[in-house]
Amino acid sequence: MKSWYVYGYTNRKPEEAFVYPGIDGEPVQFVSEGELFAAATEVDAEEFQPERLQEKVEEPVWVQEKAAHHHQVVQKIFENVPVLPVSFGTVFASKPLLPEEKESYLQSRLKEVDGREEWKVKLFLHVETWMNHADSAREMEESIAGLSKGKQFFARKKLQQDLRARAEQEAEERASELFHAVASCAEKAERKKTWEKQVSGRREEMAANDVFLFYGEEQLNEAASRIKAFKEEEEKLGRGLIVEVSGPWPPYHFAAAETT
Amino acid sequence: MSMRELNPDQETSLVDVLDCVLDKGVAIKGDIVISVAGIDLVYLDLRILLTSVETLIQSREEDYHEQSHTTAGSR
């Protein structure tokens, strides 16, 4: 017995041969009975029945490996044809064909992402660098110079807290400036929740986790110039705000939707 | 100026991949889908996932080092 594991939907089949093994080793196929194609692979029905799949997804190493593979397949499709990525772990009991209303819904979503690229812009803040960079740091240090040793200790502690809060707020304002500058030349934009250090694996705080959808070279180039200008300005100031760009991503964020 | 110049090494981090693949994308619902894995990934879970993967890799590396150490020692 075979089930089908689905990667995404597209409105065109790639012109060149698409040779890529799926999650279970069987090749990825483009399955269709009409104008919408499901990029899918046959899987063992037993292995991918709900209880078994649930067991698998509780196994971190399995998830990590298969999720990375899922992305590679989606990325490959995206490099060839427009794609609506389907979330990880979607399995059909039979051929992944959809009823008409779902199909036309996905068709309209596909038109929205056709020719678009998703890009991520992240900002990381090394708070101490920003704190020490501020003029206020020196001024405040001078202001406590006349205090007694004991008082200086508490005053300095308070001062550090104030400087940190101020640094975070100033960086947040800069992050917001960048977001609006880039969003104004993007088709869609979203500010995502920032990750904690444990997730990002960085020593700096994450100050922005933005995602944009661009359509065409003009938008992309304009966004790139604005990000570059921001980046160069921050590098010149050297106050610990780091810009990181990644992409182009398949439209994971802007295709996110439920077929109800 | 192009976006690609801002991303010269084209590195894709695992966190980014997991964030996209597990948390985003189109969710197909209904009777036609027999099983959608219930990984409702909020960030807490993502962290647990990453941490446990790291721990596993680390312990494997340690095992490996121990083994290679033992092998070297027994020679």
Q: A244 and A176, same structural domain?
A: yes
**Mutating which of A23, A47, A69, A71 best tests the B interface, going by the most B Cβ atoms within 10 A?**
A71
Provide the residue ranges of all domains of chain B, joining segments of one domain with +: 12-74
Residue burial A34-64, b: 16+ Cβ < 10 Å; e: rest: eebbbbbbbbebeebbeeebeeebeebeebb
Residues in B touching A55 (Cβ below 8 Å): none
Domain that holds residue A92: 2-114
pLDDT at position B71? 46
**Res. B67: pLDDT tops 60:** no
Return d(Cα B59, Cα A83) in angstroms, integer: 39
Strand-strand pairing, A205-215 and A116-125: antiparallel
pLDDT at position A72? 94
Q: A217 and A175, same structural domain?
A: yes
State the Cα angle at A1 between A28 and B29, rounded to 5°: 65
pLDDT at position A198? 78
Return d(Cα A113, Cα A24) in angstroms, integer: 29
Domain count for chain A, please give it: 2
Return d(Cα A143, Cα A120) in angstroms, integer: 42
For chain A, 260 residues long, give each residue's pLDDT as a single digit of tens. 899 999 999 999 888 888 889 998 999 999 998 899 999 999 999 988 888 888 887 777 888 889 899 999 999 999 999 999 998 888 888 888 888 888 899 999 999 999 999 999 999 999 999 998 877 777 777 888 888 888 888 888 888 898 899 999 999 999 999 999 999 999 999 999 898 887 888 899 999 999 999 999 999 999 999 999 999 999 999 999 999 999 999 999 988 665 54
Residue A146 within any structural domain of the chain: no
Q: A123 and A93, same structural domain?
A: no
**Mutating which of B22, B35, B48, B61 best tests the A interface, going by the most A Cβ atoms within 10 A?**
B35
What are A3-23's pLDDT values in tens digits? 999 999 999 988 888 888 999
**Mutating which of B28, B46, B51 best tests the A interface, going by the most A Cβ atoms within 10 A?**
B28
**Count of beta carbons in the 10 Å neighbourhood of residue B1:** 15
Return d(Cα A179, Cα A210) in angstroms, integer: 7
**Res. B66: pLDDT tops 80:** no
What are B9-63's pLDDT values in tens digits? 767 888 888 888 887 888 777 766 755 545 554 444 565 566 655 555 555 566 6
Return the amino acid letter for A258. Answer: E
Interaxial angle between packed helices B43-74 and B14-23, expressed in degrees from 0 to 180 and rounded to the nearest 10: 140
Residue A142 within any structural domain of the chain: no
Report the DSSP beta bridge partners of residue A30. Answer: A39
A17 close to B (CB below 8 A): no
Q: A125 and A57, same structural domain?
A: no
B7 pLDDT band, cuts 50/70/90, is confident
Residue A99 within any structural domain of the chain: yes
Return d(Cα A191, Cα A211) in angstroms, integer: 6
CATH number assigned to the domain comprising residue A219:
3.30.70
**Count of beta carbons in the 10 Å neighbourhood of residue B63:** 10
pLDDT at position B45? 57
Residues in B touching A224 (Cβ below 8 Å): 1-3, 5-6
Residue A183 within any structural domain of the chain: yes
| Cis peptide, bond prior to residue A21, ω within 30 of zero | no
Show which of residues 125-184 on chain A sit within 8 Å of chain B, judged by CB atoms: none
pLDDT at position B73? 40
Nearest CA in chain A to B46: A199
CB-count exposure of residue B55 (10 Å: 0-12, 13-18, 19+): exposed
Domain boundary, last residue among A114, A149, A174: A114
pLDDT at position B63? 60
**Count of beta carbons in the 10 Å neighbourhood of residue A213:** 21
Q: A188 and A110, same structural domain?
A: no
Q: A128 and A79, same structural domain?
A: no
State the Cα angle at A22 between A25 and A107, rounded to 5°: 160
Return d(Cα B63, Cα A115) in angstroms, integer: 48
Return d(Cα A10, Cα A4) in angstroms, integer: 16
Q: A127 and A104, same structural domain?
A: no
Across the interface, whether the CB atoms of B3 and A259 are under 8 A apart is answered: no
